[in-house]
Structure 1
């Protein structure tokens, strides 16, 4: 059964109790003092029209076409960016590089455009279509990938034809640059079919391999990130454990906005007691599972090498 977690955002500049007293974490937290993640910034304040999208696209090295009026096109501003959704157009197999442009930009009967922020031609050309909210994924099974929370990319493909390698390269590169721009992990890149049970797209792309390639591009192929280096020596945290590291997990979840109000009855004192607990109980395990699902990680409820990097990411 899915655990329900209500997001309670920490006050800016507040650190969970206990961190300063642990030498194991002193260097880590001193290195991030005063910094704010793009993710939390996204949560705290609505975003304007995303007028930087053309610059982001150009960083891929692939050709870019800006659709006239794109900077003010959208169903209002984009409220936040928490995920990226990959689509195929299901357009005709012929007709040139990006024959679906008019539909993606202007919409179709019953659904007004824009339908996606980006279009991606067969040649790898990136079309920048809209800077505001687009109708590209509804209903969504993920709150991080609905129209108000995600960027959509519509890649030209009939739904059955082979993908040109240059198009796939541009697809991966664009997703990576968007992750860098908005402070997202590669796990936030999803196929339309992964966040909408009625959709099959993009066809035939193994999204685990796709995300792995995006992750490499995000780091520039430079090997493990500094968080991955740190977590190599950190313990597994699982149900029944009782240790100082459990407090660290609680503090990190709190910093990410994952705290069940029932754990502390909405009081400051209750919150402090929850944060100070060294016990990994069933409630904490369910909270970890909710965090893992939000990050696209295997939701086994265990904090280990696969979960620590996302938990510590800044």
Structure 2
């Protein structure tokens, strides 16, 4: 359990992980903090966007849409492995999820099945939306998978967390399927390797 990094520190740790980081507009102050608290933070959540085209994906994740205002994450990781920062603070990415999963993330233990919808995840997780259709056919380039792992590991290192603090949306909220196309167990192994 930690206080969130400042926006500047967040950017710094991502750049320090060897990532290409692109700030989009006034990302440092673009958030949903008026809807509730941001923090304490407990982990990193990975999503797929179910969209195609980097520019359109970044725009959607920054601005949101009528039913779900943006920002929809903190960073968008596009197919080329670039991390586009679209918001900082509370963002609309995690939604409600399972309190038992949150407890396991905090304890850094194996995750239980997500079968409840009783905790506000937007308060507790850094979120990365990753450009992919999520249909099981759209490929995940190695440079993108590596960027996801590097970004998650950089945040974990800063907060003193292990790879067990990195989860997929599908592990948090009943009914969610993302990310599709790789397993979170494999992604956590990548994160662990970077943390070494």
Q: TM-score, normalised by structure 1?
A: 0.52
- Name the one with the larger strand percent: 2
Query: Residue in 1 aligned with 2:124?
Result: 149
Within-5 A mapping of 1:273-288: none
Corresponding residue SS for 1:84: strand
CA distance 1:171–1:185, shift in 2 (3 Å): same
Query: Residue in 2 aligned with 1:128?
Result: 85
Separation (CA, whole Å) in 2 of partners of 1:104 and 1:216: 29
Match of 2:20 among 60, 63, 70: 63
CA distance 1:58–1:47, shift in 2 (3 Å): closer
Within-5 A mapping of 1:38-57: 39=1, 42=2, 47=4, 50-57=7-14
Q: Which runs of 5+ in 2 are unaligned?
A: 106-119
What's the offset of the Cα at 1:196? 1.0
Query: Residue in 1 aligned with 2:73?
Result: 116
Separation (CA, whole Å) in 1 of partners of 2:185 and 2:156: 16
Within-5 A mapping of 1:168-179: 168-179=145-156
Residues paired across the two proteins, number: 173
Q: Does 1:181 align with 2:158?
A: yes
Query: Residue in 1 aligned with 2:114?
Result: none
Match of 1:167 among 137, 144, 151: 144
Separation (CA, whole Å) in 1 of partners of 2:5 and 2:185: 31
CA offsets per residue over residues 207-235 of structure 1, 9 Å max, x none? 1121112112112xxxxxxxxxxxxxxxx
Separation (CA, whole Å) in 2 of partners of 1:64 and 1:191: 22
Within-5 A mapping of 1:73-88: 73-76=30-33, 78-88=38-48
Q: TM-score, normalised by structure 2?
A: 0.82
**Structure 1 vs Structure 2 CA RMSD:** 1.7
Separation (CA, whole Å) in 2 of partners of 1:138 and 1:61: 30
Q: Is the 8 A contact 1:159 1:202 kept in 2?
A: yes
Separation (CA, whole Å) in 2 of partners of 1:50 and 1:62: 16
Within-5 A mapping of 1:141-290: 141=98, 142-143=101-102, 146-160=121-135, 161-219=138-196
Larger RCO, structures 1/2 (Cα 8 Å, 6+ apart): 2
- After superposing on structure 2, the runs of 4+ consecutive aligned residues of structure 1 that deviate more than 3 Å are 46-51, 142-145
Separation (CA, whole Å) in 1 of partners of 2:87 and 2:159: 17
Q: Which runs of 5+ in 1 are unaligned?
A: 1-38, 220-314
CA distance 1:78–1:214, shift in 2 (3 Å): same
Who wins on radius of gyration, i.e. which is larger?
Answer: 1
Corresponding residue SS for 1:86: strand
Corresponding residue SS for 1:51: helix
What's the offset of the Cα at 1:99? 2.4
Match of 1:99 among 56, 74, 78: 56
